[in-house]
Structure 1
Amino acid sequence: MSDTPLTSRRGFLRTAAVLVPAGALAGCERGSQPSSGTAQQGGQPESASAPQAQAAYKPRFFDAREWAFLHAAVDRLIPADSEGPGALEAGVPEFIDRQMDTPYAHGALWYMQGPFQQGVPELGYQLKLVPRDIYRLGIAAVNAYCTKAYGKPFDALDASTRDAVLGALEAGKVELDGVPASAFFGQLLQNTREGYFCDPIHGGNKNLAAWKMIGFPGARADFMDFVNQNGKAYPYGPVSISGERA
């Protein structure tokens, strides 16, 4: 996968922060908070790579199999290394699960009337699927593909095979039932980016680790004195909306 963390993690992180909407970095919407509505309860995946801090969070949307897939996938999209934490340490699965309980995930903010006809890329998103549907159908389809091709679901594959599967999804080289492979990969990658760089109030970017790594000041009231000081590191740590400081 060209220009993705599977080939160059550092190059990916340099561009990913630019691609994430500003609202996901330091903004806050009511819908991003977990609601008290009924949702499917899932278990924790059996993954030695998942940080112990994640064990306390119980997914509201994803079931146990989906939760295991999500951990295995985001771990390969942004793996931990000497330069910073990975998606698991940053709490990306929790962020994505919380997002599934928002108007965004239900497509409430989108025009969702037919006809649904796939056109040229310039027309934008044309599918009838909302994010919740993309995840539910996509994860099941990828696990079915992996079981048929490798004899195991995605989360049971070794790292290099998971990378190969993700690369095939990105390139649209896998036929999935119910959802285009590239659309599913795009949804997963975008939400992983958002969860990695969001304000911790949304569930991701635990301990402000991603912001510390890139030198982002966070929700500080004023940092204009440093805007034009190109090449100079910001001298103060980031601050979250809740007041958490690095």
Structure 2
Amino acid sequence: MAEENQDGMTRRKFIQNTGLVLGGAIGGGILGGVIGSQTDTETMDDNTAGNENNANGTNGDTETHQEARVFFKRQQDFDVLRSATERIFPEDDNGPGAIELGVPYYIDRQLAGPWGLNAKEYMDGPFQEGEATQGSQTRVPRGDMFLIGLRRINAESQSRFDTSFYDLEDAEQQNEILQALENDDISMPGFTASEFLQTMIVATMEGAYCDPVYGGNRGMQGWQMKEFPGAQMAYINVIEDDEFHAMDPVSLHDHHS
């Protein structure tokens, strides 16, 4: 078990309560439990080193030849995304982090599709500030939101620490910038910084726990951490048993191979 951070939240406890993040509980300080669970900066150094090679799929240990950027044209933008998602879902003794799980590529694929264009959502005006219960009211598509948001993160890093976000050697400096997003201390055009951060956190969690056919949860390692069985065909043989049955997870792809 990882040591508890100052909020008393271990990574394992966080994984068990992931629904809190998916429910949008940013304002309650959940980010402190997410990005504060990794205090060892050496892990971040290893993850951010060699981003150029990793992002292009040349590291056979962590990425596959099927992974390639579709949405992000600039390597720099993708490197910021990689580092930001790793701070949101860091590697530790309990399992891999966002980079090893393929989360950045999951987000890249989603942004290249209808989700990134808000294709199935009503996006015409008039635009006005809505209630908190009404969700996003921005006219900015998610694809543009990510490009703007990631570049603002990098610009903030250059301003505060005179280096790119993905080259920061101190994980606490990266946490500081993400905390500034949560507090809306970084200006964004057409949407708030906290709205962008919440969108990125939700996308990160989806990438960590989705079926691998969608580009994330590489090797079903996210499911293995939660002991989630995946896309089993049936539970008829165990449904009436009282004890817990550990199962090897099954992907949708396994039913077609």
* Structure 1 segments unaligned to the other structure (5+ residues): 22-43
Other-structure match for 1:164: 176
User: Aligned partners of 1:228, 1:189: CA distance in 2, in Å?
Assistant: 37
Other-structure match for 1:204: 216
Other-structure match for 1:61: 71
Other-structure match for 1:155: 166
Deviation at 1:58, TM superposition (A): 2.4
AA in 1 matched with 2:224: K
Deviation at 1:124, TM superposition (A): 1.6
| Alignment CA distance shift 1:113-1:224 (3 Å) | farther
Q: 1:85-96 maps to which residues of 2 (within 5 A)?
A: 85-96=96-107
Per-residue CA distance 1:85-143 (angstroms, 9 max, x = gap): 11111110111111112112111111101111122202221000121011011111111
Per-residue CA distance 1:9-57 (angstroms, 9 max, x = gap): 2232112267669xxxxxxxxxxxxxxxxxxxxxx83488996433743
| TM-score of the superposed pair, with normalisation by structure 1 | 0.78
| Alignment CA distance shift 1:190-1:228 (3 Å) | farther
Other-structure match for 1:28: none
Q: 1:116-195 maps to which residues of 2 (within 5 A)?
A: 116-157=127-168, 158-195=170-207
| TM-score of the superposed pair, with normalisation by structure 2 | 0.75
| Alignment CA distance shift 1:240-1:85 (3 Å) | same
| Alignment CA distance shift 1:101-1:225 (3 Å) | same
Confirm or deny: 8 A CA contact 1:145 1:176 kept in the other structure.
Answer: no
Question: Matched residues, percent identical?
Answer: 31
Confirm or deny: 8 A CA contact 1:74 1:192 kept in the other structure.
Answer: yes
AA in 1 matched with 2:129: Q
Other-structure match for 2:118: 107
SS for the counterpart of 1:122 is helix
User: Aligned partners of 1:48, 1:202: CA distance in 2, in Å?
Assistant: 19
Confirm or deny: 8 A CA contact 2:102 2:207 kept in the other structure.
Answer: yes
Confirm or deny: 8 A CA contact 2:21 2:201 kept in the other structure.
Answer: no
Size of the aligned set, in residue pairs, is: 218
Deviation at 1:66, TM superposition (A): 0.7
Confirm or deny: 8 A CA contact 1:142 1:176 kept in the other structure.
Answer: no
| Alignment CA distance shift 1:137-1:179 (3 Å) | farther
SS for the counterpart of 2:78 is helix
Q: Which of 7, 13, 16 pairs up with 1:14?
A: 16
Confirm or deny: 8 A CA contact 1:75 1:87 kept in the other structure.
Answer: yes
Deviation at 1:178, TM superposition (A): 4.9
AA in 2 matched with 1:162: Q
* Structure 2 segments unaligned to the other structure (5+ residues): 24-49
AA in 2 matched with 1:213: M
The alignment yields a C-alpha RMSD, in angstroms, of 2.9
Q: Which of 225, 240, 244 pairs up with 2:251?
A: 240
